[in-house]
C-alpha cells in the first residue's frame, strides 16, 4: 500500500527483541504541487504551513529572461 501512495518506508530496531518499528516517510512535493494545494485546492493544512506571495508591484511583467519567482517559506 505504501508503494501505491508513493511513500517510502524505513524500519528500525530488531525483530529478536520486539523493538522493530516501521516508519512511513511522505513523498516530497514539488513547488508546483504545493502551490496547487494552497491556491487551487485551498487545503487548510498546506495553507497553514505555507504563505504564497506574488511578485513585487514594481517589477516588469514582460521580461522574458527573468520569470516570476514565488518564494515558499517552510
Residue 14 is assigned to a structural domain of this protein: yes
CB atoms within 10 A of CB 38: 20
The string of pLDDT tens digits covering residues 26-72 is 778 899 999 999 999 999 988 999 999 988 876 555 555 555 566 67
The beta strands (E) that lie in 1-74 are given as 8-12, 21-25
Residue 67 is assigned to a structural domain of this protein: no
Taking the C-alpha atoms of residue 24 and residue 56, their distance in angstroms, rounded to an integer, is 39
H-run or E-run covering 24: strand 21-25
Taking the C-alpha atoms of residue 71 and residue 49, their distance in angstroms, rounded to an integer, is 13
Residue 64 is assigned to a structural domain of this protein: no
Q: What is the pLDDT of residue 14?
A: 87
Question: pLDDT band at residue 16, thresholds of 50, 70 and 90?
Answer: confident
Residue 39 is assigned to a structural domain of this protein: yes
Grid coordinates 494545494 are at which residue? 37
Domain residues for 33? Answer: 8-49
Question: pLDDT band at residue 15, thresholds of 50, 70 and 90?
Answer: confident
Q: Which three cell numbers stand for residue 57?
A: 508591484
Global pTM value: 0.46
Amino acid at each position: 500500500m505504501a508503494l501505491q501512495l508513493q511513500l517510502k518506508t524505513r524500519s528500525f530496531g530488531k525483530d529478536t527483541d520486539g523493538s522493530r518499528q516501521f516508519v512511513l516517510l511522505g513523498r516530497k512535493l514539488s513547488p508546483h504541487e504545493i502551490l496547487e494545494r494552497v491556491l487551487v485546492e485551498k487545503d487548510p493544512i498546506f495553507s497553514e504551513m505555507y504563505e504564497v506571495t506574488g511578485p513585487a508591484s514594481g517589477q516588469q511583467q514582460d521580461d522574458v529572461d527573468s520569470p516570476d519567482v514565488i518564494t515558499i517559506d517552510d
